[in-house]
Amino acid sequence: MTKSKAKVQSIRFPQSVLTPVADFLTKQLHLLERRKKNIEDTDPFSDESRVVGNAASDTEAEEQFGHTMSSALKEQIDRRIIQTRKALSRIKVGKYGICENCGKMIDTDRLMVYPDAVRCIDCEKKTSK
């Protein structure tokens, strides 16, 4: 590891900044988990009284659409839950706000908008190409 990279990695946010961020992310995690549970409860396929094969074709199509939409929403929420947990883990190990690719500090403006960011904007642009 080069001297400059070691110096960059030794820079950390102070605990007075990390504590409110961790609190915010923890609240976000609970909201996401509740939202996921609500989506699971509204999934037509989770209804135990649902009768397979005896429904009219329009009812079947409506249930299929509702299930597909619920599945897509759950998948998005699952990704957000993973990102939030990862950010909380990075806070615990002292790597929050440090780009996982280049080791430089992530711009605070980026973290304000996207608190679970793990890459700086330059590395994010490279990975999204």
pLDDT of residue 58: 67
For 91, residues 6+ apart whose C-beta sits below 8 A from its C-beta are 18, 21, 22, 25
Does 67 score more than 70 pLDDT? yes
Q: What is the DSSP string of 12-58?
A: ---HHHHHHHHHHHHHHHHHHHHHHHHHHHH-GGG-TTPPSSSS-HH
Distance, C-alpha 78 to centroid of its chain: 7
* Distance separating alpha carbons of residues 40 and 30, to the nearest angstrom: 15
Structure tokens belonging to residue 32: 């996401």
Domains present along the chain, CATH in parentheses: 3-127 (1.20.120.910)
The mean pLDDT of 57-82, rounded to a whole number, is: 85
Look at residue 91 and tell me whether its pLDDT is greater than 50: yes
Q: What is the pLDDT of residue 50?
A: 57
**Mean pLDDT, rounded, of the chain:** 84
What is the pLDDT confidence band of residue 70, given thresholds at 50, 70 and 90?
Answer: confident
Identify how many contiguous H helices and E strands the chain contains and give both numbers: 5, 0
* Mean local confidence (pLDDT), 41-69: 71
Give the pLDDT of residue 2.
Answer: 46
The string of pLDDT tens digits covering residues 95-108 is 999 999 999 999 99
The neighbouring-strand residues paired with 98 are 105
Residue 128: the pLDDT is: 75
Read off the pLDDT of residues 2-41 as tens digits, 9 standing for 90 and up. Answer: 444 444 446 777 888 889 999 999 999 999 999 999 998 8
Question: What amino acid is encoded at 94 in this protein?
Answer: G
CA 62 and chain centroid, separation: 29
Say what the pLDDT of residue 7 is. 46
For 61, how many CA atoms within 13 A lie in the half-sphere containing its CB? 3
